[in-house]
Amino acid sequence: MALKDTEIRGFKRQAKPYRKADAKGLYVEVFPNGSRLWRFKFRIAGKEKWLALWA
């Protein structure tokens, strides 16, 4: 399910970082200070990798 801009802006900060999935390995990570970061999770040669995306 695709995340919408209004949904992302409505994510509240919590004591620990948490993730909200978008699709196919893309997710938003919300940090305790309220900042948000897009991340993409994928595998290369069986190893899990993460790529941070800034907008």
Exposed e or buried b per residue across 18-39, where buried means at least 16 C-beta atoms within 10 angstroms of its C-beta:
eeeebeeebbbbbeeeeeeebe
Contact 7, 18 (CB under 8 A): no
pLDDT at position 54? 77
* pLDDT tens digit sequence for 30-48: 999 999 999 999 999 999 9
Tens digits of per-residue pLDDT, 4-13?
A: 999 999 999 9
Domain spans of the chain, in order of start: 5-53
pLDDT mean over 14-39: 95
Q: Report which secondary-structure segment, H or E, holds 38.
A: strand 36-44
CATH topology of domain 5-53: Double Stranded RNA Binding Domain (3.30.160)
Which amino acid, 29?
E
